[in-house]
Amino acid sequence: MFKIFLELKYRLQYSACSFLFTFITCYLYSNELLHVFTRFMYSKKFIFIDMTEGFRINVFISFFTTFFLILPFVVYNIFSFISPGLYSSLRKNIISNVLYILNFVYLGAFIMLFIIFPVICSFFLGFEQRDARVVFLPRISFYIYFALNLLGSFLVIIFLVILFYFLIDYEYIKVKTVLYLRKYSYVFILLISAFFSPPDLLNQLLLSTILIILYECFVFYSILVNVISNYHEL
């Protein structure tokens, strides 16, 4: 028992040290990281009206980037801690599933940040009217929070899709349970949308609609899998 707590202590220390070192490195390159997020606004100049706003944004971006960079290392430490108590077949299954999830998370972040988000920026910049002296002067904090909210919402959608797939594919949940939990799932979806979306009703309804459509697809997929499995049993 003492060896287990000792190994847990070392794993936590490794994770904490890696987080601290990565965070310091990201903060030293915070201006370059900020350029990655703002490069889609073309020639726009950003403003900040609070004395500490620039510092807070650099810290926030550094923290967010650190979380993404050390996520595989944290997952590796968690798996290394629990792997001695797992069967070899289960260990291989977990490794393949974790790699599958991490690949989709990073691929989704890349698609959102470099493909979808520039289109969104271009769409909203289209409302600028230079002849009518309607010029857009973006505030850096609002812009970064908006970008990271969109990125977080997109990653939540990807994670839920992967989670639903595994729950149905490995038969951890039945069709009757999915149908019974539908009304509770709608309430949970509204709470998730309120937490991850920007504080306005339109964005919350948009994210809620997307998640509800995905949940209904999940219900349809679970029914389809159930029908196919019953057909093969006949």
Per-residue pLDDT for 80 more than 60? yes
Q: For residue 217, what are the contacts with CB-CB under 8 A and spacing of at least 6?
A: none
Quick one: CA dihedral 69, 70, 75, 77, positive or negative?
A: positive
Residue owning tokens 């794993």: 11
- Cβ neighbours around 161 below 10 Å, total: 15
Provide the 8-state DSSP code for 133: T
Query: Mean pLDDT lowest for which of 9-13, 55-59, 187-191, 226-230?
Result: 226-230
Closest by Cα among 209, 206, 182, 204 to 193: 204
Provide the 8-state DSSP code for 139: B
Per-residue pLDDT for 234 more than 60? no
Q: What is the pLDDT of residues 220-230, one digit of tens each?
A: 777 777 677 66
pLDDT of residue 207: 73
